[in-house]
Homo-oligomer: A and B are copies of this chain.
Amino acid sequence: MMQALLDKLKFDSNGLVPIIIQDAHNGEVLVMAYTNREALEKTIATGKVHTYSRSRGRVALKGESSGHFQHVKQVRTDCDRDAVLIKVDQVGGACHEGYRSCFFRQFENGAADWKIVEGKVFDPDAVYKK
């Protein structure tokens, strides 16, 4: 029955749809990524977010290196069925740079660069062992 629902989504010409990962508790947007059919099947079957990593060219379990898994609470799609929103319980931080959310940089007119407005919740050097 999962297949029938995935058939209703509009994957792009590369077989991808963008996904937004959101904290189920406080609504914080954690990550914007891409998924494909296989990653979405694994996400739903395991209850842990999997994405399609365009840089690595494969399906990746979020948290596989860090242990910072994203436990799925709810999966939604939009009116056009070409984007997916997943609400999760986030373990640790979602961002590989050590922040809870990847969206830690804010536009401030007059600044020389986007301003970092969040603090790190983990040390990436300790978590991603070299």
Q: How many copies of this protein are present in the complex?
A: 2
Q: Once the chains are docked, how many angstroms separate the CA of A18 from the CA of B117?
A: 21
Interface of A: prevailing SS = loop
Say yes or no: is A123 at the interface (Cβ < 8 Å to chain B). Answer: no
B-binding residues in A (CB < 8 A): 1-2, 4-5, 8, 18, 20, 22, 26-29, 31-32, 44, 74-81, 83, 85, 95-97, 99, 102-107, 109-114, 117
**Are A102 and B80 in touch, CB under 8 angstroms?**
yes
State the Cβ distance, A65 to closest chain B Cβ, in Å: 16
**Are B104 and A1 in touch, CB under 8 angstroms?**
no
**Are B74 and A97 in touch, CB under 8 angstroms?**
no
Contact of A99 among B79, B85, B95, B99 (CB under 8 A): B79
